[in-house]
Chains A and B, each alone.
Chain A
């Protein structure tokens, strides 16, 4: 078996055989819960990676789109009895649609102005979750009793839920991987590097930025639906500013522009506080110290962009090697 196939098979085995086996061996609800939360945050970080890491737009309101997905899925499920099979895509599309609307006036803003605009959008949506009581139930939040119906199958067991959540997360990450590790990804990176120069190369800067923003919101919406269905209860505070910052921290600690970095960052910041649970309340100080240390000593991230792109080209076989010297460059 080639190195590339082996790596891919290894990842699938880890996600769908090894982790489930460990979860079943311990068989504790708490462990299942951590595993699904980790999957949700991996998806959130991977989607923010596209817009902030690759396209270079500092997005401070990502959690709001995650919230839209969660509310759409939860309200469709609890009020209209529209289940998971339709609720999941609806959640993604609703988040993408709102992103599209707010992106229209926002995309011409640059750097810090863009960041502040997304911060304002995030706060606005949060206040809607909180105050539009007749629809969102306000601070009481929404209870969702229905389980996951997956194309007619009722998934009730904890391991079943793990498989559904992980499969959707993995599929989404594969799509984000393709968007990152392709010439489309190069176009997005050129915006981050110098958007005027990109325009001189024939790139429609505004349209491309909007695409990155909307695609990222779509996947955040999916993550929201997964969250609503796995916790069964959502409230506005799940989607406030500090959640946006938490996801941003995952992306930065892992390495801006690096998809494996975003995944590692998410796992670290979700699992570390759980591992340190016995330490008590001071554990947050430890988490803070780890983040601080990571930024001080590895400013490019735990798995920086340069290594991530090389990894994608060489180890995962996404590079083009059609040149005379068969070197992996560009994208397949």
Chain B
């Protein structure tokens, strides 16, 4: 079976800095893969390379067997990849429901013409899918509240629900537990495991090892842009290179 996502020698320079350095790895269908590394290791840059937000200096990204290197973000999204952002990005002046609907309408498509006449069927499809995701993350009571008025934790779930409304084949989450306390993190890992057990392939960045170690089958470790480990959590925990990278990291 070919992997869902394959990265081949992916590299990105920013001036003199090599943020991502020759990273080669893959994510198989149905896997839950963690990506960890100290501050500035290049995790977000790697996600940006995968999702089309940053062009690689060299190397290739293949998704479902098709080369997607250099495609713009919306085209990558259309192929079934959906992401969240490290610094939590919801649409603050739109309602919770309307936020989620953007994921659904982005995947299903809407046109100016059909919004004026005859687009009822598509609208219902978008509405139903959005409502389903809204219930799934338990935000139905706040459907008509502005996203800006939600608590931080709920906004995190809103962002995930919006990404899920695209019904992606691969979901990539950039530090979903950032800023959450212990019980919130536990609840979130429960949710992520549940999504994965339903068959969704997930790639998860975490700065902090604990969440990833608890739920991922496989962990990729980056340090200074380079992949230094790619193994099961148990192995990674004992890997000397990983221990060195984390101990040598500036704020660990």
Contact = CB atoms under 8 A, between A and B. Distances in A.
Interface of A: 175, 178-179, 182-187, 189-190, 192-194, 196-205, 211, 215, 257, 305-306, 309-310, 320, 322-323, 325, 327, 329-332
B103 A201 contact: yes
A38 B146 CA distance: 33
Interface string B105-133: 11100111011110110111011101100
A22 to B, nearest CB: 32
A178 B119 CA distance: 11
Given A201-B103, A201-B106, 14 more contacts: A179-B115, A179-B116, A182-B115, A183-B115, A189-B98, A198-B102, A202-B77, A203-B74, A323-B131, A325-B140, A327-B144, A330-B97, A331-B126, A332-B123
A327 B166 contact: no
Contacts of A196: 53, 73, 89
A320 B124 contact: yes
B102 A203 contact: yes
Given A179-B112, A183-B101, A201 B162 contact: yes
A197 B110 contact: no
Given A186-B98, A330-B97, A199 B91 contact: no
B127 to A, nearest CB: 4
Nearest to B83: A200
8 contacts: A179-B112, A186-B98, A186-B102, A189-B93, A197-B90, A202-B77, A310-B144, A322-B127
Given A182-B115, A182-B123, A190-B91, A200 B98 contact: no
A293 B120 CA distance: 41
B73 A183 contact: no
A187 B89 contact: no
Contacts of B107: 201-202
From B102, B110, B120, residue with most partner A Cβ within 10 Å: B102
B123 A183 contact: yes
- Interface SS of chain A: helix
Contacts of B124: 320, 322
Given A193-B94, A199-B77, A215 B83 contact: no
A184 B110 contact: yes
Contacts of B127: 320, 322, 329-331
B246 interface: no
A199 B73 contact: yes
Contacts of A215: 112
Contacts of A187: 102, 105-106, 110
Contacts of B105: 183, 186-187, 201
A185 B89 CA distance: 19
A85 to B, nearest CB: 22
B126 A211 contact: no
Interface string B128-165: 10110000000010011010000000000000001100
From A197, A202, A204, A327, residue with most partner B Cβ within 10 Å: A202
Contact of B115 (A184, A198, A201, A330): A184
Given A203-B74, A329-B144, A330-B101, A175 B93 contact: no
B144 A184 contact: no
Contact of A193 (B92, B103, B114, B131): B92
A200 B115 CA distance: 22
Contacts of A310: 144
B69 interface: no
B110 A329 contact: no
Contacts of A194: 89, 91
Nearest to B52: A199
A189 B91 contact: yes
A164 to B, nearest CB: 22
A54 B110 CA distance: 16
A330 B123 CA distance: 9
A224 B93 CA distance: 33
A211 B112 contact: yes
Nearest to A174: B116
B250 to A, nearest CB: 28
A163 B115 CA distance: 27
Contacts of B110: 182-184, 187
B128 A322 contact: yes
Contact of A331 (B77, B78, B123, B128): B123
Interface string B9-29: 000000000000000000000
A196 B115 CA distance: 23
Contacts of B112: 179, 184, 211, 215
Contacts of A199: 72-74, 77
Contacts of A205: 74
From A200, A215, A332, residue with most partner B Cβ within 10 Å: A200
A215 B78 CA distance: 25
B95 interface: yes
From A186, A189, A203, A215, residue with most partner B Cβ within 10 Å: A186
Contacts of A192: 93
A332 B53 CA distance: 33
Contacts of B120: 332
Contact of A202 (B111, B115, B131, B166): B166
